[in-house]
Each structure stands twice: as structure tokens, then as C-alpha cells.
Structure 1
């Protein structure tokens, strides 16, 4: 079987590039999880650095929700939940199952790669931080992507696993709605997706937030569960957010259907498309 690889290159002309290279090797060089992109090796030659990863050929979540992969079809509700649940499990592993903990610090849809079975795989650990045993947080320069970054991290520079939890909540809402976290082309009250969604849920209009491009809409119960988890994750008070392990358990909660019934009713990963 032919082994497919993909690489990430660094040209070390300034300190941040060298730092990101070292962090990425240290953060995920020793970890193994089916929802993490595997780092297979690295190369150092002069001022050049290369990280070699497993090859993921099915685009990323940002492309499926907003970009080039949209022409392949629209992700079904089941595919969106499968992808985001996989990322939740990967984060629970990084936060709760290894030592030191790994705080990703840049959870966003373009960093979620998707394989041929529509499993989500978390990638790009260049901004990650390691949180050692006994430490509740670290203080660091604010990094990440606007719209996904936790408010307390923006305001204080204090970073811990609850910062990733907030970003995951935004990611889950993005998957549900098909909207960018921040979009200035929308009406003023819809620019910031999280605040708009809170208003919609508060006005009992939750069913209107689902991506209109999806042909088969989720059940009320499935939508309620996803929104409940997401809104808990984006709570402005960090201590009130769940752990990623708790988020996984909430997303996996039974909805009254037997496993056999769910298997029989499971649709394809995409609706429509021109392929």
C-alpha cells in the first residue's frame, strides 16, 4: 500500500518559527489518538525545518462548511456531529489523559481535517502550550483566531484547558449553523455568531439556526442537545464550562433510539452535490 504524506515547512529566520516548530514536535510527537493528525517525523537542515504528517485527503471543515468542498455536497447533520464529536474526544485526550496536558490554543474549522470516512482530525499544534501537573493555568501572549478565542484569555492572557473548551463550543455552533464565527457582511445583530445564537435560543427560535443548506434537518432533541453542549462550552465564565470529557459524554447521550435503529436510519455523509 502506498504511504501518503503531507508536510509543514518552516524557514527559521526569526524566533517564533523555531519556537512553533519545537512546540509542535514536543506537543504531539509522542501522542496517538485516532482524531489527531499523526506526526510521522521531522527533518532539520540548516535554517529549514520540516514536519511530516499522515496525509488527509478530504479537505478540512472550513472548506466543507464555507469553501471549495461545498461543491462536493452539503455535510449531513450526522457527519457534522461525527466530526465535532471526534474533535471533542481528541481534546479530552489532550486535556485529561496525558501529562503534561496539551492546550491547543487554535481550535478552528480550518484546523479540522476530514478523512475519507468523515472522521475529524485535529491538526496544527504550532501555537500549543503544555500545562504541567499542579498548574491551573499559564500566562502567555494572546494567540489564536478572532471569533474562537475565549474572553478571559483575551482579557488577561491566562490560558488553560477551558480556553480550548470555549473554542470547541464556537466550532460546534459553526457546524450546526454553517456560519462563520464573525461575519461583518451580516446585519449588526448577526455579526457575532455566538451572541446571535444566544438571542435566537432565548427567543425560542432555535430551529431557525440550523444550516439551511442541509436537506435533512436534525430532530428537535438532537438539535437541543448540540446547542446545550455548545452554549455550556461558550459560557463567558470559564469555571462554569464543562470539561471536554463531560462535553463528550453529553454529545453521546442516548436520544431514545436503540443502536440498531440509529444504524438503520443513518444517512450518507453528504446531501446532494454535483459529483
Structure 2
């Protein structure tokens, strides 16, 4: 898809990968961008940055809790009223929970709502107009954890696998009706999720991490090529192939990695 003159929604747009996506789409010539985030001030700030970067682009910000289906529908309705239609929905918002079996049922529910249901809410809200036109694009930020796993976080590993599963289903079901789907699956990205609010967190994914801007650049390349998997860390594809070729061997290797990183970093390994 050529992003020039297209209209875009980016959730989780107030920081990190979302911010980088907003600015990248603006600079690439998008006609309109909706910047959504639960942090209203953050979304507003990024919208202002995008206006400065691309004065000809129509941009607005909106506070949205992506776990709330009605809020996501309202976002799509507002963007449609302002831009005429929504061409690209970047379902980017996500959270991590650094727990295993100690995670509570409420914690599992919350991460499920944001990391999985948010993608489903987005599809329900915007897919009807895309199908009517026979054209539309979903760009879902997932993680390499959706293809591989996540040492140190059972909820993150599980929900990211589920997010990949939904994106696959979406592409299988609607791909022949003009609907494109891409999943952004990076490893470590230099954001607050990786380093913590004050940069105090240490973990094995920091080595080899990339900037959010790099992820956004690779995303635009992936959208232009209409690639299902967007891999800012190209080595992830080789890891995924090894997993498929010999699952048991891959699991043994992951156990060794688990032992190595927990020995070095303790429970804070992501």
C-alpha cells in the first residue's frame, strides 16, 4: 500500500513505537492521522509534533482506552467524520506484566483486554467500511514474543501468541476482499517498556535493541510491500524457522537461555 494521501489511526500513539509510527506516517505523506492514547497529554504532544513535521496533514488526538470497545468505536467514528474514511488502523497499544503463575486473574484479564481484545475491537469498529470499499489495512504491533516466547512473562507470551493468531485469522478470512494485515514483531525496542520509566531496568533484550524510529521505518517498508510479518530484527525469522523445524530442540535451547538470563538478571529479564 502507498501511504501517501491515506488516513491512519495509531493507538498507543503517545509514546514509544506509537509516537514513531505517527511521525513516520506524517512524513510519508499521510492525509490524516488520529493519535490515540490513554495518556491524553502524551497523545496531544505527539499530534503537535506531527503537525510540525508535516503541516499539510490533518491530525487530531483523542484519549482512548483500547480495552473499551465503545471507546475504540468512537475513535473510528471521529476519524471517519474528520477524514471521510479510515485506510489504515495501527493497533499498537500494549502492556507487559513481568509475572508467571503468580499473576492474578485480574492481571491476566487486563493484559488480555489490551494485548488481544484491542485488536478485535479495532477490527469490529473499522472493518465494515473497509469491506464496503474493498480496501483497508490493519497494522498490529505484536512482538517477537508472539512468534517465539517471552522469558519472564507468561501473560505477555500468551497474549502475544493470541494476537498473532487473530491477525492470521483476519488475513485468511478477509485477505481476498481487499483487507491487508501486517504484524510488527520486534525483539527489544528502546522504549520505557524495555528500560523502565527512569532507565533503571536491566535485561537481556537490551543488547541488540533498536530504536522506535527504526521499527517505524521498517513498518512503512512492510506496509509498502504488504508483508504479513514485519521484522525489525531479521534474525527473528531464523529463530522462528528453527522452532518449526525442531520444536523439542528449540525448547531445550530456550530452557538454557532461561537459565542464563535468570542467573544474570534475576526475575527482571525482559
TM-score of the superposed pair, with normalisation by structure 2: 0.31
Greater CA radius of gyration, 1 or 2? 1
**Per residue, is there more helix in 1 or in 2?**
2
TM-score of the superposed pair, with normalisation by structure 1: 0.31
Q: Which has the higher contact order (CA 8 A, sep 6+)?
A: 1
